[in-house]
Structure 1
């Protein structure tokens, strides 16, 4: 897997927990609004923000480890890149 593919994969892996939590909360609130006929626009923002922050706090150690592993991988490639250039 080349560097760009791996970088995109890591970015998707890191962002997925927060995006999925926001998606699920958004769907639940949308269904609630449709059933109760409450059409308040701000009703969706606050729960999404809270859930995203909570997911960020929960997954921060894993995200940090994943990014650190990817950074170490990138730095380990420096000698190979240097050999290819000279």
Structure 2
């Protein structure tokens, strides 16, 4: 395998990893900032108040975007990795 094919495949794989993880990370960021702002405004410093809503929001987003994630990975494997492994 040539170096350019290897690096192009790695670049595409990293970009797919970013695309797949972005929805959950954005929701975690928004939930964390919102809860942090609420805690700062009300002076409530409870650790579970930050953890539980963030995990709940991330689970909901994961459940909603699961089909997008699996479709993206399957397309990458079937269109890019399997032909490289077979040698086409």
TM-score, normalising length from structure 1? 0.88
Find the partner of 1:61 among 58, 61, 67.
Answer: 67
Match status 1:7 vs 2:5: no
Runs of 4+ in 1 over 6 A off after TM superposition: none
Consecutive unaligned residues in structure 1, runs of 5 or more: 81-86
Aligned residues: 80
**Cα deviation, residue 77, structure 1:** 2.3
Aligned match of 2:54: 48
How many Å separate the matches in 2 of 1:54 and 1:12?
Answer: 19
Find the partner of 1:77 among 60, 80, 84.
Answer: 84
Instruction: Give the alignment of 1:33-44 within 5 angstroms.
Output: 33-44=39-50
